[in-house]
């Protein structure tokens, strides 16, 4: 069994910052990347990639967050983090942690981020 638990979401002002954390537990097989995805409240589209990081520490960011968000991981604690700076209202969404493995992705329950004045 694999379990991913996110934390750190909440309310922030435009221009503010939040730090998200995802701690994973259980047995993993052939994990090649970890990442964060998001989907706006009430939106029925497939969730969007925000940032990913490979097991050899290569990050990739969506154009909309490049220069504002930073993804990092700690292999010793099975933790992936997302530092979000200079937040914008359009960043408002449910954020999901994902561990990507061959043949299967593992998802957290999501943490809500709201950016509003």
**For position 44, what pLDDT does the model report?**
63
62, HSE (Cβ side, Cα atoms, 13 Å): 14
End-to-end CA distance of the chain: 40
Whether the Cβ atoms of residue 81 and residue 11 lie closer than 8 Å to each other: no
**For position 20, what pLDDT does the model report?**
98
Between CA 63 and CA 96 the distance in angstroms is 18
**For position 43, what pLDDT does the model report?**
57
**For position 5, what pLDDT does the model report?**
95
**For position 58, what pLDDT does the model report?**
97
Tens digits of pLDDT across the chain (117 residues): 899 999 999 999 999 999 999 999 988 778 999 999 999 876 566 789 999 999 999 999 999 999 999 999 998 999 999 999 999 999 999 999 999 998 899 999 999 999 999
């Amino acid at each position: 069994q694999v379990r991913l638990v996110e934390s750190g979401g909440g309310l922030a002002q435009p221009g503010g910052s939040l730090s998200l954390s995802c701690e994973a537990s259980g047995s993993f097989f052939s994990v090649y990347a970890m990442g964060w995805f998001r989907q706006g409240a009430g939106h029925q589209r497939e969730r969007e990639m925000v940032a990913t990081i490979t097991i050899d520490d290569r990050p990739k960011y969506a154009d909309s967050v490049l220069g504002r968000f930073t993804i990092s991981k700690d292999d010793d604690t099975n933790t992936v983090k997302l530092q979000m700076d200079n937040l914008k209202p359009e960043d408002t969404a449910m954020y999901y942690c994902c561990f990507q493995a061959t043949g299967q992705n593992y998802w957290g329950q999501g943490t809500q981020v709201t950016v509003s004045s």
